[in-house]
Copies of this chain bind each other. A is one copy, B any other.
Amino acid sequence: MEKYIFGIDVGGTNIKIGVFNYDSVKNIKKFEVKTSKSKEISTILFDIKKFISEYVVENNINWNQVVGIGLGVPCPVKNGYVEKCANLSVNETNLIDELRRIFPGHITFAVGNDATLAALGENQSLAKPYDNAVLITLGTGVGGGIIVNGQLVEGSSGFGGEIGHIKVYDELVETCGCGSKGCLEQICGTAAIIKYAKKAIIGKKTILNLETLNVKRIFDAAKMGDEVGLETVNRVAKYLGIAASILAITVEPDVFIIGGGISKAGPFFTNLVQKYFRENARFSTGKIPFQIAITGNDAGMIGSALLVKHQMKGAYENQFLW
């Protein structure tokens, strides 16, 4: 009798639901449903319950075959607890308790931050997963996750791995979404990149123009040797390299994995980041390799299924211990 884990990644727009084989944690099927416009966690969990219940019935699966449900949310999470969240309507709630309330009692639940779970998912999807890995995702925001000694770094209250808010710049006068200044995200987030290029464009010879400017065009221009493109992309790569050099002498990962939309710029970009990383790396940490993320948008979903498996392994081991 096959056993299943459901791995779920709740985003602001869509909820990704993956059906995984329990033994191999191999993804069998995946679906997307819309995130409730209210962003209310109770509604979101209700929608997830409804989807899984229907899937179970339609596929003649017995609830006993559903051994685990993993949930990734775009919030700081500590042992399933969310104090508050900018992206969903949820406050001072233990999401594991909420899942227990609506699903059958035998199921094992695991909840984590989406980006941290993505780090777990990406790392585990590599040919040979590492004990220590850092994922940096580059998109509208700059996020990421840290794995140390094979475990997620949630930190004291769920702010572990908030790489986008490493202070890398002393002179930024504008305030970041986090309320502070000088954050990596204020240089490497897509809005910041476009804003910088808009200023850099003035009075320079460039194939870019203000009307059609977007991040892809900036990176494409850089690849073609365009001055403004190169200046903009070099700045992004420099501060990413500095942030990585800091991570290298604090958690010293075996690998940096670069994900998110901007990672589509490929080796042209990661090589540039690695150049600045090496310039700033301390001691012999400059040898840490950079890889481009391979699982794309599925990393969080995969990671949430893996977290369930990790927790079940732990529980299973504890049966022998106590």
Q: Chain A: residues with CB nearer than 8 A to chain B?
A: 76, 83, 132, 146, 148-149, 151, 153-163, 165-167, 169-170, 178-180, 183, 242, 245-254, 280-285, 288, 317, 320-321
A180 in contact with B288 given A156-B252, A320-B321 (CB within 8 Å): no
A178 in contact with B283 given A149-B148, A155-B132, A167-B245 (CB within 8 Å): yes
| Bound complex: CA A321 to CA B316 (Å) | 10
Nearest B residue (CB) for A183: B282
Contact of A282 among B151, B153, B154, B159 (CB under 8 A): B159
The answer to whether B156 touches A132 (Cβ under 8 A) is yes
| Complex contacts, A183 vs chain B, CB 8 Å | 282
Question: 17 new A-B pairs (CB below 8 Å) besides A148-B160, A153-B250?
Answer: A146-B251, A148-B153, A154-B252, A155-B252, A157-B252, A159-B249, A162-B250, A163-B249, A163-B250, A165-B282, A166-B249, A169-B170, A179-B282, A180-B245, A180-B280, A246-B246, A317-B321
The answer to whether A248 touches B159 (Cβ under 8 A) is yes
The answer to whether A180 touches B148 (Cβ under 8 A) is no
| Bound complex: CA A179 to CA B169 (Å) | 21
Nearest B residue (CB) for A151: B149
| Complex contacts, A163 vs chain B, CB 8 Å | 249-250
Nearest B residue (CB) for A84: B284
- Min C-beta distance of A147 to chain B, whole Å: 10
| Bound complex: CA A317 to CA B314 (Å) | 12
| Bound complex: CA A202 to CA B212 (Å) | 55
- Min C-beta distance of A123 to chain B, whole Å: 13
- Min C-beta distance of A104 to chain B, whole Å: 29
| Bound complex: CA A157 to CA B249 (Å) | 10
| Complex contacts, A155 vs chain B, CB 8 Å | 132, 251-253
| Subset of 11 A-B contacts with CB under 8 Å | A148-B149, A149-B153, A155-B253, A156-B252, A158-B252, A162-B249, A162-B283, A166-B250, A169-B170, A180-B280, A180-B282
| Complex contacts, A151 vs chain B, CB 8 Å | 148-149, 151
The answer to whether B83 touches A284 (Cβ under 8 A) is yes
Nearest B residue (CB) for A170: B170
- Min C-beta distance of A90 to chain B, whole Å: 15
Top-3 shortest CB links A-B: A155-B252, A162-B249, A165-B282
- Min C-beta distance of A215 to chain B, whole Å: 24
The answer to whether B156 touches A250 (Cβ under 8 A) is no
- Min C-beta distance of A82 to chain B, whole Å: 12
